Chain A
Amino acid sequence: MIEVSGLTKTYGKKRGIDRISFTVNDGEIVGFLGPNGAGKSTTMNIITGYLSANSGAARISGLDVLENPVEAKRHIGYLPEQPPLYLDMTVEEYLSFIYDLKKVSGIKRSEHLDEVINLVGLTDQYKRLIRNLSKGYKQRVGMAQALVGNPDVLILDEPTVGLDPKQIIEIRNVIKGLGKDRTIILSTHILQEVSAICERVLVINNGQIVADDRPDNLSALITGDRKLTVRVAGPRESVRRILRGVEGVQYADATVQAEEGSYDFLVEARPNVDVRKPMFQALAQAGYPILQLKSMDLSLEDIFVKLVEAKRGNTAPRAKTPKKQETGKEEF
C-alpha cells in the first residue's frame, strides 16, 4: 500500500509538485498520466526516497520513507526514467549485485534471478555485457532490477519507453501479471497504455492531480462531445451543406482535399448525440459515398484542457468511481 499526503516540492521558485495526495491499495495498478514536466518523475522520486519533499509525507506499507528509509526501501522496486545500469557488468553480474544490494534473503540467488530474467525475457542476454545491449534490452534489465527481491510495491517510470511495439505488448503483459499480487504505480504519457494496463488513473498536470478515476470513466468524460473526421467523395460545397443539415451536427467543414474528388470534413456533434447513422443515410441519399469515418483522438493536451475545465466550471461533471474511495484523496 502506498499512501501519499500533501507532497509539495519546489525547485527554486518553480513548483515541481503541489500538494499531491493519493492512496494506492494492495494489488492495484495505478497509472500516472501526464505530459512531460508535469511532476510524474518528481512524485516517484519522492516516494522512493531519492528526493525529499518540502512538505508532506509518503508511506510504503505504513513505513514513512523519510523516517524509516532503509526499511521502507526494502518494499520498493524502482525503475527510474533512465534505467540505472552499470555498463561494465554483464546482466548476470548486475542482477547478482542487485540481489546483494537489496539484501534479499529467503530466496535462492540462482533460482530467483532465473525467474526474474525469464519474466522480462532476458534469458538469451544473460551473459552479455550491459554496454552492448540495445535500448530495449537495457530497459528490460532495468525492469528486472526492480523485480529482484520480489518487492510488494513497484514504481515504474515510463517502463515501455524505447521498446518496439512487440516488446511493449510483452512488457505490458508482464506488468499486468505482476499486478495480481503487487501494488504498482507506472507513469506514462501514452493514453492507450493506461487503458491497457491500469485499473485506475491519476492524471497529473502542472504538479497537481486533475483527475483520479477509472480509465473507462475518464474516456467517457473526455469524449463527451464527439469530433469526427469524414472523408466523402463528392463536391465540397454540397457535401458540406448536407453534413450541416444532419440532425445533431453542430459544425462541419472541409479541411483538406484527400484524394481526387474527395474531401476530409471535420464534423462536431452536439454532446451525447451519435450522428454517424443519420450522416451516413443523408450522404447515401445524395449519392456521395463515405470513404472513411473515424473519431478524432484527443491529444493529451486536449484532455487536460477538458479536465481542468470540468474541474473549474463543472461543465462536464466527473464520473464518480464506483470503486473504493480512500480518505486523503483529492476531491474536486
Chain B
Amino acid sequence: MTAIMKRDLKGYFTSPLGYVFVAAYIIVMNATFYITSIMNASNGLTTVFNVMLYSLAIITPILTMRTFSEDYKQKTDQLLLTSPVSPSGIVLGKFFAAFLVFVFGLVLTIVYVIICQAFGKVNMASVIGNYVAILGVAAVYISIGVFISSLTENQLISAIATLAVFALLLILDLCYNLVNTAWIKAVLYWLSIYRRYNTFIMGVFSLADFVYYISVTAVFLFLTVRMLEKKRWS
C-alpha cells in the first residue's frame, strides 16, 4: 500500500496535475481571503471556509480523474493486480495519495488563520472544527472521485462524471430549502454533504456528522475495491 501511495504522490508532482491542483486551490482561496477578510478588515473566516467547501466540488475531480483511469489505459493495473498487494491495499494507497495532495493544499491555507490571529482574536476551536470537517468532506469527495475513475479508462469521462455527481449533490442541497414534506427533507438531509457542514460553520463540532463523512468514504472505497475485483470476472 505505501509503495503505491508513494508512487502516486510522486506521479502527481512529476506531471502538471499536482501543481495545477494546488495552484488552482490556492488562487481561489487567496482571492476569497483577500476579498472577504483583508478588504473588509474582518477577522471572520466563515466565508473563507464556505468557499473552501464549495470549491472542493470543482477541484477534486482534477485530483481523482486519472487515479485508476490512467492505470487502465497504460495497463499498469495488470502490474498492480498481479503483485502481492490486496485490492484494498491498492485502493487505499491511491486514495491516500490523492488525499495527501489535498492536505498539502489545505495546509497552505493555515496562513490565513495566522494572519487573522496576528491582528485580532480567532476562535481556535471553531477553526480546528472547520478544518477537520473540510478534511471529512474532502475524504468523501476523493473517495467518490476514486470510485468513478475505477469505472472508466477515460480521464475526461472520469472528471466530467465526478463533476456531475458533485453538481447533483449540490442540487439536492438546494432542494432541501424548497420542500416542506418532512420525510423528503429527512432523506435529503441524509444525502446532503453540505448541510451537515453547517453545524461546523457555526462552530459546533458534531461527532455524528464527522462519523457520517468517514462512513461515506468507507462505502465508496469499498465499492472501488469491488470494482477492481469485478474486473477479474469480466
Which positions in A face B, CB cutoff 8 Å?
Answer: 45, 48-52, 69-71, 73-74, 76, 78, 80, 82, 84-89, 93, 97-98, 100-103, 145
Bound CA span A76–B14, Å = 30
Bound CA span A71–B83, Å = 10
Contact between chains at A88 and B82 (CB < 8 Å)? no
Bound CA span A296–B74, Å = 41
Contact between chains at A80 and B7 (CB < 8 Å)? no
Bound CA span A76–B83, Å = 8
B42 at the binding interface (Cβ < 8 Å): no
- Interface size grouping (class) on chain B: 20 to 34
Please, which residues of chain B bring their CB within 8 A of the CB of A93? 10
B11 at the binding interface (Cβ < 8 Å): yes
B208 at the binding interface (Cβ < 8 Å): no
B202 at the binding interface (Cβ < 8 Å): no
Contact between chains at B81 and A101 (CB < 8 Å)? no
Q: Give residues of chain B (63-92) contacting chain A, Cβ–Cβ below 8 Å.
A: 74-86
Shortest B21–chain A CB gap in Å is 16
B226 at the binding interface (Cβ < 8 Å): no
Bound CA span A298–B76, Å = 37
Which positions in B face A, CB cutoff 8 Å?
Answer: 2-4, 6-7, 10-11, 14-15, 74-86, 232-233
Q: Which residue of B lies closest to A86 (CB)?
A: B76
Within 8 Å by CB of B84, from A45, A73, A87, A145, lies A73
Please, which residues of chain A bring their CB within 8 A of the CB of B6? 97, 100
Contact between chains at B7 and A97 (CB < 8 Å)? yes
Q: Which residue of B lies closest to A77 (CB)?
A: B82
Contact between chains at B83 and A102 (CB < 8 Å)? yes
Bound CA span A89–B15, Å = 10
Contact between chains at B79 and A145 (CB < 8 Å)? yes
Contact between chains at B76 and A85 (CB < 8 Å)? yes
Bound CA span A86–B80, Å = 11
Please, which residues of chain B bring their CB within 8 A of the CB of A88? 11, 14-15
Within 8 Å by CB of B78, from A69, A73, A80, lies A80
